[in-house]
Amino acid sequence: MWLKINQNMVRQVEVKVFPDKVYDSGYILSIIHQQMKGELERIKDVVLVKKSIDARGRRAIYLLRYDVYLDEKFEESEAIISKFKDVSHQPSIIIVGAGPAGYFAALECIELGLRPIVLDRGKNVRERRRDLKSIQQDGVVNSESNYCFGEGGAGTYSDGKLYTRSVKRGKIVKVLKLLVEHGADPAILIEAHPHIGSNKLPLIITAIRTTIEKFGGEVHFNQKVTDFILNEDKILGVKCNDTAYIGNAVVLATGHSARDIYKLLAEKNIKIEAKPFALGLRIEHPQVFIDQTQYHQEVREENLPASSYSVVTQVDDKGVFSFCMCPGGLVVPAATAPGEIVVNGMSLSRRDSPFANSGFVTSIELDELEKHGYTGIFAAMDFQTDVERAMFAASDGSQKAPAQRVDDFVNGIVSPVLNDTSYIPGLISAPLHKILPSFVYKRLRQGLIDIDKKMKGYKTNHANILGVESRTSSPIRIPRDSETLSHPEVLGLYPCGEGAGYAGGIISAAMDGQNVAKAIKKWIDNENSLKIIS
């Protein structure tokens, strides 16, 4: 599936087809041949390189882009991991966190000849499932193993969407290729909005761990960092209870919910900063409504996937927008500690749930938090925590999520009944319009009214809205130098990914991990007198 293109031997052809013809190879080839008249005898291979859907017209169409190889056949490029070599005796890099940032930093380290030692507070992806079942069915939150903590990080159980706008961070295609080499469907290389699915990600993540260990790296679970090992302005390693891990650099890739790490950094007088984030609720519609709205059809046409959407508006000069939209998806409990309720969304690979859900959130700025009594480096984090605890207090002591029908929410009415939901712990009717801070409610309410004018029926009592959607991004930023990517005050400390405030999803986190690994390699190569610790 990888492309090696000699520009003189390749012609690019675009084909538009209706959904009923998208898998008709004979029909598609006939269109390509019509466009390539005069060069038919030279065609040796036809390779699909991009696939997207245009649903703006009366009927959705597929846009297909092909590379047509002339005079020579298409050749697959060499697999990335086939070039990996054993790094058992190379400089050791401590990577805290086994999410996308941590694992892709580890793979990049191996490629660069560095030895990654990955530490995660949670369990491996297989054992982690028991704790997910426990929070889903019993309402019991394991603060070290949940939808945010554990192998694969939050990305494992948040749909597996592989889209990012952060194209300047690095080569997206490399991340996608590595995922395919570890078991992902090669279709992610050509789809405009690729997606793996939370049911398939665990096997891929396990395969990545196997690669790391095969080439001399290490992965350790149930290793919660309790201290940093410092020597003046340099970090030497970390402590996990009574175990010390020493290396030439430390990568902090802990994800957006590791509040204890932020507090530890503050205790050690290592600079961190409060950061704006977004907070709101999760809205759940029948998938058929989203399909009808997006595809302009009463019944979704065969070969069209469950439709997604993206909405945004401005209220009082603040953004109100959809976040992490999951077509054919499920709402899941994402709390990381007892006494709080947090919700998130995910989809399985087939996206065949009868529900569509999305975060519906608003930007939370530091200046307005100060007006409401939240100050200092933990201002945004404390606000986030307080709202999550308020949601728990409005429930019944379990993980049932406070909810309203959407129109009731807008009108400030407690819902007498709620709609069916994909959220397994269940819903409890509650006055979200009172539980949310008033300035948040005001913006979400007006946002729903505004969006309904653009997407008629979005504000409906056929949909539920439940809370709270608060883990959109980190409320803390760990600063780093824009050139070296290291912390400006601590030599050898590399903040990375969502938890440090430099990514927002699987792909951007993975690319940030790769970039940090490259920065570490450059730093080590420049330190000629550096003692190598193996």
Question: For residue 488, how many other CB atoms are within 10 A of its CB?
Answer: 12
Which phi-psi region, left, alpha or beta, contains residue 256 (left: φ > 0; alpha: ψ -120 to 50)?
Answer: alpha
Tens of pLDDT, residues 225-270: 999 999 999 999 999 988 999 999 999 999 999 999 999 999 999 9
Question: Would you report the helix, strand and coil content of the chain in percent, each value rounded to 5?
Answer: 35, 25, 40
Which regions in the chain score pLDDT beneath 50?
1-6, 168-169, 529-530, 534
2 within some domain: no
CA 65 to chain centre: 27
How confident is the model at residue 241, as a pLDDT?
A: 86
How confident is the model at residue 162, as a pLDDT?
A: 77
Q: Are residues 286 and 417 in the same domain?
A: yes
531 within some domain: no
Q: Are residues 358 and 498 in the same domain?
A: no
Q: Are residues 365 and 464 in the same domain?
A: yes
Q: Beta strand 243-246 with 234-240: parallel, antiparallel or unpaired? A: antiparallel
Long-range (24+ apart) CB contacts under 8 A made by 173-177 are 174/80, 174/514, 175/104, 175/507, 175/510, 175/511, 175/514, 177/2, 177/79, 177/80
Residues 6+ apart with CB under 8 A from 219: 98, 106, 118, 120, 151, 209, 212, 213
The residues pairing with 172 across neighbouring beta strands, listed in sequence order, are none
Q: What is the pTM of this model?
A: 0.93
How confident is the model at residue 527, as a pLDDT?
A: 79
User: What does the angle CA 395 – CA 342 – CA 314 come to, to the nearest 5 degrees?
Assistant: 110
How confident is the model at residue 2, as a pLDDT?
A: 38
161 within some domain: yes
As a whole number of angstroms, the distance between CA 525 and CA 534 comes to 16
Closest residue by Cα to residue 257 from 361, 117, 385, 429: 385
Provide the domain count of the chain: 3
Q: Are residues 281 and 268 in the same domain?
A: no
76 within some domain: no
Question: For residue 272, how many other CB atoms are within 10 A of its CB?
Answer: 21
Q: Are residues 402 and 367 in the same domain?
A: yes
Q: Are residues 413 and 448 in the same domain?
A: yes
Q: Could you tell me the end-to-end alpha-carbon distance of the chain, in angstroms, rounded to an integer?
A: 37
Q: Are residues 287 and 396 in the same domain?
A: yes
Q: Are residues 420 and 384 in the same domain?
A: yes
CB 54 within 8 A of CB 61: yes
Tens of pLDDT, residues 497-509: 999 999 988 999 9
User: CATH number of the domain that 65 lies in?
Assistant: 3.30.1660
Closest residue by Cα to residue 452 from 403, 410, 495, 397: 410
Tokens of 433: 């319009």
Domain boundary at 20, 39, 70, which? Answer: 70
CA distances from 255 to 228, 428, 495, 519 (A): 17, 29, 11, 20
Domain of residue 132 covers 81-272+478-526
The residues pairing with 278 across neighbouring beta strands, listed in sequence order, are 363
How many residues in the chain?
534
445 within some domain: yes
The residues pairing with 55 across neighbouring beta strands, listed in sequence order, are none
Tens of pLDDT, residues 60-73: 999 999 999 999 99
CB 309 within 8 A of CB 294: yes
Domain boundary at 22, 50, 70, which? Answer: 70
522 within some domain: yes
Residues 6+ apart with CB under 8 A from 84: 110, 111, 211, 215
Long-range (24+ apart) CB contacts under 8 A made by 41-47 are 42/70, 42/71, 43/68, 43/69, 43/70, 44/69, 44/70, 44/71, 44/72, 44/73, 44/74, 45/69, 45/73, 45/74, 47/3, 47/74
As a whole number of angstroms, the distance between CA 518 and CA 69 comes to 35
User: CATH number of the domain that 502 lies in?
Assistant: 3.50.50.60
Q: Are residues 258 and 304 in the same domain?
A: no
Q: Are residues 450 and 482 in the same domain?
A: no
Residues 6+ apart with CB under 8 A from 411: none
How confident is the model at residue 5, as a pLDDT?
A: 44
